[in-house]
Amino acid sequence: MINEKNLYSSFPPLEKALDEPNGLLAVGGDLSPQRLIEAYCKGIFPWFNEGEPIYWWSPDPRMILFPAELKISRSLCKTLRKDHYQIRADTVFTQVMQACAAPRQGQSGTWIHPQMIAAYTALHEMGLAHSVETWIGGELVGGLYGVALGKVFFGESMFSRITDASKIAFVHLVKQLQYREFGLIDCQVKTRHLASLGAREISRVSFSRQLETLISDIAIGSKWNFERMQLETSG
């Protein structure tokens, strides 16, 4: 068990983060499990392109979702009621990261490069990083991955190969986190996609206080096995 209060301090105070670019706090270091755990416990995450030094970020405001505030549209409700998909967790973690790294319309590259995949796969092998996957007909069609520490899930990226596949995985993730009594999902920065699902912005100070409450001892975990449950949807 790792006590986050005893982790070595290798980052400046959060108030030292730049306003422009928003949240840039530090440059350099490594992506060892110990450093990543320390970073996430403090509300810091790495984001950099291949070939660049490691950039560490703590933006203000911070986009988050309280699980109880999840919003499900009428059209998504209809999709969720269908029985054409299967939700799995932690069966193809690296494959999910690779799918998230695939080129997207309007993007020239990706920040999910081999160095990042190796680092988060190491966290996955420790039971601290997880994937949630949408499968149809034996084919992976969407999903997401992130880091779970204490009662916080830090979302990293998601992908869809068909309409709503990532949203299906996200809704099932949120319901499972409610079941496991998680208090917060970190969405990092604002997007219209996340806002449509109920995510909202809070100040960096408020976010940091939430982490202090929800993360204490960090137990080395295990692969997730989602309990099958009936989703409560309306619309």
- Whether 225 shows a pLDDT value over 90: the answer reads no
Cα–Cα distance list, 56 to 17, 42, 51, 235 (Å)? 9, 11, 15, 40
CB-based contacts of 135, cutoff 8 Å, min separation 6 = 85, 86, 87, 88, 141
Residues 130 and 165 in one domain: yes
In this structure, what CATH number is given to the domain that contains residue 106? 3.40.630.70
Confidence of residue 88 (pLDDT cuts 50, 70, 90): very high
> How many folded domains does the chain comprise?
2
Residue 37 in any domain: the answer is yes
pLDDT in tens, 103-136: 765 555 578 999 999 999 999 999 999 999 999 9
Q: Hunting for tokens 């695939």 — which residue is that?
A: 102
Residue 104 in any domain: the answer is yes
Residue 146's DSSP bridge partners are 130, 155
Residues 77 and 51 in one domain: no
* 56's tokens: 């560490």
What is d(CA 89, CA 130) in angstroms, rounded to the nearest whole number? 7
Residue 225 in any domain: the answer is no
pTM of the full predicted structure? Answer: 0.91
pLDDT in tens, 31-56: 999 999 999 999 999 999 999 999 99
pLDDT in tens, 12-37: 999 999 999 999 999 999 999 999 99
Residue 45 in any domain: the answer is yes
Domain enclosing residue 28, as ranges: 2-57
Cα–Cα distance list, 121 to 65, 84, 192 (Å)? 25, 29, 28
* 53's tokens: 């030094």
Confidence of residue 221 (pLDDT cuts 50, 70, 90): confident
